Structure 1
Amino acid sequence: MKKIFVFPVAFVLFAAIAISPAPAQEKPLTLIYESVYPKGHMRFLVVEEMLDRIEAHSKGRIKVDRHYGEPVSQKEALNALTRGAIDLLVAYPTYYDGKIAIGDWIQLPANFRSWQDCWDLAVNGRVAEIMDQIYLKNARVKYLTSTPVAPYNFQVAKRAKKVRTFEDFKGMKIRSAGGSASIAIKALGASPVMTIGGEYYQAMQKGVVDAGLMTTYSLKQYRLWEVADQVVDPPLVGYSVGFLWMSLKSWEKLSGDLQDMILKTTRSKDLWEKWTQAYEKDQDGPIIAEAKKMGVEFYVLPAREAEKMYQATNSVWDWYVEECEKQGTGAEAREVRKLIQERFKRKNP
């Protein structure tokens, strides 16, 4: 009798397992991403590819809901990220330096001579570690990476005297976005004039400014080649970048393998190399060629004159450390300064 009973029970169990429904597929985690810049901005296309790769490498576990200039304002975006109202944010850290100034090195004079130097320290090195520590502690956001943008050089108005030496900057009225840029311009013996990007063309056309500190792509973006006839290199700001952060609340929801994948993806050197080459060759290259056709001179200061420019603006780094000291991060700022300036000097041609 026992043998007869066991067989039907085993059969029933097997049948129950066979007809039970398959486990439901795991619902993807949707991350709300905000860029404070317009959709399609030429210098943040690299972030779009980062997000594409994150979705692909997650194998359906992560979906990124992308927004541009919303759902929160640029001013409130970092606070929104801290609260977890959004999950991912890309922006210049200088927008939030009243709260956290440690990232202001992105627009300081003589920061990097190349994108490779920037990647080595700020994406894959000690500067990246410091950024992560400070933003985690003071804003409860995870620093994922820096994203390549561009160097900042000078554009000189047609109606202004041309720059040939360091001394020629003295007395000029130079467009500035404020903050460290204004301090650097003062250190050159010039007068900073605050204008937003959209006002730059008119300010140069009307003589409100004699020159401006901006990127090469602004020649096309703001049609500056119509009112400027000189670009002065080497760049005062060697390489500027954006920051990509994730809310700590969102970060802690992720499994360890997804965290590792996101860091590996966003800090990929091949993405930096691909997009910096695209920016320099496919975007800036044609812009420079077109500007030359329109009569814009691309002038490079002699090495001795460039060194005078960098020496004169070195005091901006003192300002950076002082601002960070007010926020309790002076020691970290001094280390960032040492790391970046040592690399810059080591690469001195």
Structure 2
Amino acid sequence: MKRLIILLVAFLAVTLCLSAPAPAQAAGKQFTLVYESVYPKGHMRFLVVDDLLDRIEANSKGRIKFERHYGGEPVSKKEALNALSNGVIDLLMAYPTYYDGKIAIGDWQQMPSNFRGWEDCWALGVAGPVAAIMDKAYSKVAKVKYITCTPVAPYNFQVATRAHKIHKTADFEGMKIRSAGGSASIAIKMLGASPVMTIGGEYYQAMQKGVVDAGLMTTYSLKQYRLWEVADQVVNPPLIGYAAGFLWMSNKAWRKLPKDLQEMIIKTARAKDLWAKWVGIYEKDQDGPIIAEAKKRGVEFYVLPPDQAEEMYKKTQPVWDWYVKQCEKQGLGAEAREVRKVILERFNKGK
């Protein structure tokens, strides 16, 4: 009898040990993910991504930790998407236009007539049908997971002090206008102007020396590139209603995560309150003081009359045909046509 009791106790002990979760399983496996931003640490329009990563770490309750790198480290901006595809890094923040030679489907984020405001960008590109298309297209072509896009800014025109001023759409004709290339250059041509491809760091000198008469850039560039020293007019409404940066994760890293963490990441990264918070900071704490200082320096903030603004948009909307053709070459023509349809329908209803 005594032996039977001992055997029963031993059996119960073994059963309890086998049924109890191991410490690592109870706490959940921990994941360290390597994040790269092609932008320098502290860039005023990408602090939102650090906030996003902080939120994910907090919501994971210690299960996710990001190893953060900035300014094109550990791989160069040019090679970053390939590195992400191959699993060299786990997450990447960049403009999709940097990689449109490989996949151009994300170029909507810097197209003319894309959005009337940030709410439209969030509704379509973060929480809506455009986001769903991005997810499938990037996974198929680039082997990366589209996590979200984050707010950057509208793109308006800055006009050099020495150049004639813009008061109607026809005034763009004959001007030399700075662009970053791609769709922006085509849009400028459609306005009857000549695009001059110039990187941000060369913009001030180009305007100062008369290489360009105006430029397509952001309001914060007035301070960032000291344009308020060489420009005396800003023209709104913005040609590019709202631009956004893209955050991707490698498929390899994404598939390693359990479903509950995947769902948490998407929910956290695509939260509307994140956008609302940072757009508020941009407008109140960043652009607000910049506009006030620019006005003190004599910069005029001119708004085209509604009929002239719509004429500007009408002239440049055919750039979307170029977008579709680029995507067709990459096997994503149907997806691009749907993106064009969804975005332009919403934009044109907002007249």
Q: What corresponds to 1:170 in structure 2?
A: 173
Q: Deviations over 1:15-73 (max 9, x none)?
A: 8989x9x8356552100000000001111111111110111111111110000121101
Q: What corresponds to 2:241 in structure 1?
A: 238
Q: What corresponds to 2:64 in structure 1?
A: 62
1:75 pairs with 2:73? no
- In the TM superposition, 1:35-46 aligns within 5 A as 35-46=37-48
Q: What corresponds to 1:288 in structure 2?
A: 291
TM-score normalised by L of structure 2: 0.95
Deviation at 1:315? 1.6
Q: Distance in 2 between matches of 1:115 and 1:12?
A: 65
Gaps of 5+ in 1: none
Q: What corresponds to 2:275 in structure 1?
A: 272
Structure 1 runs of 4+ aligned residues shifted over 6 Å read 12-18
Q: Distance in 2 between matches of 1:15 and 1:306?
A: 78
- In the TM superposition, 1:1-349 aligns within 5 A as 2=1, 4-9=2-7, 23-24=23-24, 28-68=30-70, 69-348=72-351
One-letter code aligned to 1:5: R
Q: Distance in 1 between matches of 2:263 and 2:13?
A: 41
Equivalent residue of 1:46, what SS?
helix
TM-score normalised by L of structure 1: 0.95
One-letter code aligned to 1:30: T
Equivalent residue of 2:256, what SS?
coil
Deviation at 1:308? 1.3
Aligned-pair RMSD on alpha carbons? 1.7
Equivalent residue of 2:23, what SS?
coil
Deviation at 1:7? 3.9
Q: Distance in 2 between matches of 1:152 and 1:138?
A: 29
Gaps of 5+ in 2: none
Deviation at 1:262? 0.3
Q: Deviations over 1:229-276 (max 9, x none)?
A: 000000000000011111001110010100000000000001011111
One-letter code aligned to 2:41: K
Equivalent residue of 2:167, what SS?
coil
Q: Distance in 1 between matches of 2:150 and 2:67?
A: 19
Equivalent residue of 1:149, what SS?
strand
Equivalent residue of 2:109, what SS?
helix
Q: Distance in 2 between matches of 1:308 and 1:157?
A: 23
One-letter code aligned to 2:258: S
Q: Distance in 1 between matches of 2:135 and 2:163?
A: 44
Q: Distance in 2 between matches of 1:15 and 1:35?
A: 51
Equivalent residue of 2:337, what SS?
helix
Q: How many residues align?
A: 345
Identical aligned pairs, as a percentage?
Answer: 73
Q: Distance in 2 between matches of 1:324 and 1:15?
A: 63
C-alpha spacing 1:111/1:166, structure 2 compared with 1 (3 Å): same
Q: Distance in 2 between matches of 1:110 and 1:172?
A: 21
Q: Distance in 1 between matches of 2:278 and 2:39?
A: 17
Q: Distance in 1 between matches of 2:8 and 2:228?
A: 83
Q: Distance in 1 between matches of 2:100 and 2:286?
A: 30
Equivalent residue of 1:147, what SS?
strand
Equivalent residue of 1:230, what SS?
strand
